[in-house]
Amino acid sequence: MNIVLGLAGGLGLFLYGMRLMGDSIERAAGTNLRNILESITRNPVQGMLTGLVFTALIQSSSACTVMVVSFVNSGLMTLYQAAGPILGANIGTTVTSQLVSFNLSEAAPIILMIGVLCSMFIKNARARKIADVVIGFGVLFLGLSQMSGAMRSMKDVQAVRDILGSLTNPVLAVLVGAGLTAIIQSSSVTVSILLLMANQDLIGLPISMYIILGCNIGACMSALLAGLAGSRDAKRASLIHLYFNIIGTIIVFIILTVAMNPVLNLIGTVSAGNPGRTIANAHTIFKIFQVAVLLPFTKQIVDLTYLTVPRSKDEDGVDFHSQYQLQYIGAKVIFSPATAVVDATKELERMANLAAENLNRAMNALITLDEDEINKVYEMEKNIDFLNHAITNYLVKINQTNLPVDDLKQIGALFHVVNDIERIGDHAENVADMAKERIEKGSKFSKVAEKELGEFLDMVNQIVAWSIEIFAKDNDEHMLDVIRLEDEIDDMERDLQNRHVKRLEANICTPESGMIYSDILSGLERVADHATNIAFAIRETENEDTTARQVSVKI
């Protein structure tokens, strides 16, 4: 019983330490790591290397896969681009067993103490996350030391030796490795335990090779479970992971069956005859070999996922303009703290484009007096209101999670952006109301007034487009243009209002039409103000000392 308790306690510390390490690295450097993943090109080799480094740092192929899937859902990456990082993650996840193979258990208490002291006395948020990484590293090796001690006692228990010694069937060994890893949901942990058992002479190296292959398949379980709740592309991404490991396992299984001794001799030579190092190196070598063999067939593997999860009418034909649903966040998208702000930004970009489109539809209805168009404006405004509430609720939710440090600073700005976009939508509805009023009262605009409104709307459309691009694409190219154009819009609004007054004085237009015209000008000017707020929202967060202004809008 003491052996079992010691093993369970050590495993608990090991799992917690690895989780703490990965989560802390992700929170401390999450935005930087995410930016690296975002910049992946269509080159599968570059994507594979990026996934390798990313997973080696955060020690979780599942976290890497989930982040990549989130990018696919957000349209930042195609499924074919996603395949590279997913393959690279399979190599990166072997780093844990490599670390474990170097016995650092004796240094664990010192590492742990350094991390705790830094966490207690350093106030900087990012530095404290790094201290958490050190604590996780120390806890990991503390758990490793406890597990190693328990296994040292296990080798004296004959029943244990008999059970492990009876495991000689290669297929059964693969299934055992897959089953254990599916339960623990980490191939790194299962291989590390296997490594400790080999060091204590509890299990032979030949059968360990087959268990490692099973671990690789079992590691797909967490991604598959996540994919079940995700979109079709989420399912396909998890299947890329699964198919890669199944095909790779079959290839290596055949090689081991035919040439086990030469393979073991080669890996043993590299490992200087150390059983633990042999296990760790086999894990890494198998993965590198599988990636080298299958990387040229990335397209075929992705195509296979489309055969398994075929395209549907819903996937290709959903009209997100007319249906009240989220596209980049929500129940059908895998949630990842590291990409939550990216996903929210994409949803906000979509909402902003809908609001801008609705404003133009309303302005067109104001001139044409098309009642069907007016009704479409009202229907779209309901959709925008839905998005406003749904995105706000999502921001509240992610604000309570462990977001990367830089992302936490942006949440407040995103709340303001939601409000500004919603106000643009409200102005579109106001224009539709005025169009109805024109129909009811028979009010008419002069050709001059219609021409002026068209020119003014063009300027407002331009500032809205630039502002959305600045916010969504993090592109400063048109920032000075926004500042200049906002001033020009203010000046033009005053000029048009003065012209309007002169037309009233000359009895060229009626007071009823004049009031609508004046209100439209004021509303469009406020839309420009809201657009400017959107352009500056994140910039204000990134640099609190900036001298850039943010327009104060009258609601």
**475-526: pLDDT as tens digits:** 888 899 999 999 999 999 999 999 888 887 777 777 788 889 899 999 999 9
Tokens of 253: 């299984």
157-161, 329-333, 382-386, 403-407: lowest mean pLDDT where?
Answer: 157-161
- Give the type of residue at 107: A
The residue assigned the tokens 């012209």 is 499
Decide which of 333 and 291 is more confident. 291
pLDDT at residue number 376 = 93
Return the pLDDT at 240: 87
For residue 30, pLDDT beyond 60: no
Tens of pLDDT along 258-316? Answer: 999 999 999 988 888 888 889 989 999 999 999 999 989 988 998 999 898 887 655 54
Show the tokens assigned to 219: 């590691």
pLDDT(106) > 50: yes
Band (pLDDT 50/70/90 cuts) for residue 93 is confident
| 199 Cα distance to chain centroid | 39
Model pLDDT, residue 198: 84
Question: Does 359 have pLDDT greater than 90?
Answer: yes
In the block, which residue shows the tokens 């809908």? 354
pLDDT at 327 over 60: yes
| Most confident region among 214-218, 328-332, 372-376 by mean pLDDT | 372-376
pLDDT at 337: 73
For 202-241, what is each residue's pLDDT tens digit? Answer: 888 899 999 999 988 887 876 676 666 566 777 787 788 8
Q: Are 73 and 328 in contact (CB under 8 A)?
A: yes
Confidence tier at 322 by pLDDT (50, 70, 90): very low
Task: Assign 358 a pLDDT band (cuts: 50, 70, 90).
Answer: very high
Q: Does domain 337-542 have CATH number 1.20.58.220?
A: yes
Q: Which residue has the higher pLDDT, 15 or 266?
A: 266
Measured CA to CA, the distance from residue 436 to residue 362 in angstroms comes to: 10
Please choose, from the candidates 220, 192, 212, 214, the residue with its C-alpha nearest in 3D space to the C-alpha of residue 267: 212
Please state the domain extents for the chain: 2-308, 337-542
**Banded pLDDT at 546 (limits 50, 70, 90):** very low
Residue 509 tokens, joined: 């237009």
At residue 31 the predicted structure's pLDDT band, cuts being 50, 70 and 90, is: low
Q: Check residue 317 and give its pLDDT.
A: 44
What pLDDT was estimated at residue 315? 54
Q: 424, 531 in Cβ contact below 8 A?
A: yes
Report for 40-49, 59-68, 166-175, 278-287: range of highest mean pLDDT: 278-287
Share of the chain above pLDDT 70, in %: 79
Q: What pLDDT is attached to residue 22?
A: 63
> pLDDT tens digits, residue range 16-29?
776 676 667 666 65
Contact 192, 232 (CB under 8 A): no
Per-residue pLDDT, 320: 45
CA distance 454 to 431: 14
Mean pLDDT on 125-130: 74
Handedness of CA 434, 494, 540, 67 (dihedral sign): positive
Tell me what pLDDT residue 550 has. Answer: 44
How much is the mean pLDDT over the chain? 81
User: Between 374 and 225, whose confidence is greater?
Assistant: 374
pLDDT of residue 357: 95
| Average pLDDT, integer, range 235-248 | 87
| pLDDT for residue 466 | 95
What is the largest distance, in Å, between two alpha-carbon atoms of the chain? 108
Q: Check pLDDT > 60 for residue 384.
A: yes
Where is pLDDT greater, at 468 or 548? 468
- What does the buried/exposed string (b/e) look like for 306-334 if buried means 16 or more CB atoms within 10 Å of the residue's CB? eeebeeeeeeeeeeeeeeeebbbbbeebb
Please indicate, yes or no, whether the overall pTM of this predicted structure exceeds 0.85: no
pLDDT tens column, 387-414: 999 999 999 888 877 777 677 778 888 9
Each residue's pLDDT tens digit, 428-459: 999 999 999 988 888 888 888 889 999 999 99
pLDDT of 316 reads 46
